[in-house]
Structure 1
Amino acid sequence: MREIIVCTFLTLDGVMQAPGGPDEDAQSGFEHGGWQKPVTDDEVGAAVAGWYEPSDAMLLGRKTYEIFAAYWPTADPGNPFTDRMNGMRKYVASRTLTDLEWRNSTLLEGDAVRAVRELKASDGGNINVVGSGDLAQTLMRHDLVDEYRLTIHPVIIGTGKRLFAGGAIPTALEPVSVSTTKGGTVVGVYRPNGKPGYGSY
């Protein structure tokens, strides 16, 4: 059984939209694209690279796929991550895409939830969901996420798409590993662990 792992960069207030650049995703008038660069550090890069070691595929929504497909095939070949991103199998959940030109890309046919369940039951390594907020939320609603790998950066944006948006299913999380980089970013790995507990003081 393969595991579905959500890998996401977040602001302190939970925004995941457009960390990589000003023009990455301006949907809904988002004006803070590129927020991650000033608040990241080498430790974050090393942690994220490590997230890909046990995984042999990515699961992407349409928008994230298009962003990656426009960048990675011509990215700096001296960057060791370039070969990794181009070489991994990419599974794409989209109702509108028909032609996937990025190497090792496969369009999921039909219902995405059913297709992901079939992927989980297939042979192979872990599958990383990268970015792809709408897809990640769909997978969370259908109890298909096995682990969250998050970098939570010391910046507040106030607006934008959030990973745990309104309507998120209440879930207890078991911390697997949590550390803080020298720049103040929390690098956390968490696994769903049933329903939250409740109490009083």
Structure 2
Amino acid sequence: MGDQAEKIMGDQKEVAREIHSTLYSKRKDAQKNVIEKYFDVNAVFEDPLVSVQGHDKIIRQFILLATMFLNITPEVHSITDTEEAGNHHIVCIDAFIKYRLPLKLLFIRHEIEVHTITRFEFNEQQKIVKHEDVWSLKDVLESLPIIEFIYSGFWRRCSGLITNQLVILVQETIKAWKHEL
């Protein structure tokens, strides 16, 4: 790889860090500006719950986050990058993002911490064509007040028992069916 390519990749890592810290913040105007500046007009944003395309729709997703929470704080642990076929460049950011809920109730956690892997795909024009956030629904549910107890203490255990019994039922049905033949 040439010196120019290495410089561009290094620059994209810094750009990705800037974009990430802006998007995961409460700065709504800055979010809009960074999306309009660094994202391709047909860029796609995806996470486990949504998939949207275009500046306006992506902006709305991050403004919604900024509106829902009192504070949003990203803590970046690492940034890696690689080149992909078609001259696209991928930058991945491994971070914990803390979301502070608007209500603080007695004995209920008011901050949600979500381990997130953010993947930015840059095209040849150095614009982001895809922004994907990967995070665990389990981690989110276990950090939500009240839902944490229902999900961890009840739902997952019941689901395990039910699926276990379903497997036994299917196995026994197959055995009985084979025995009949």
TM-score (norm 2): 0.26
Which of the pair is proportionally richer in strand?
2
Rg larger in structure? 2
Which of the pair is proportionally richer in helix?
2
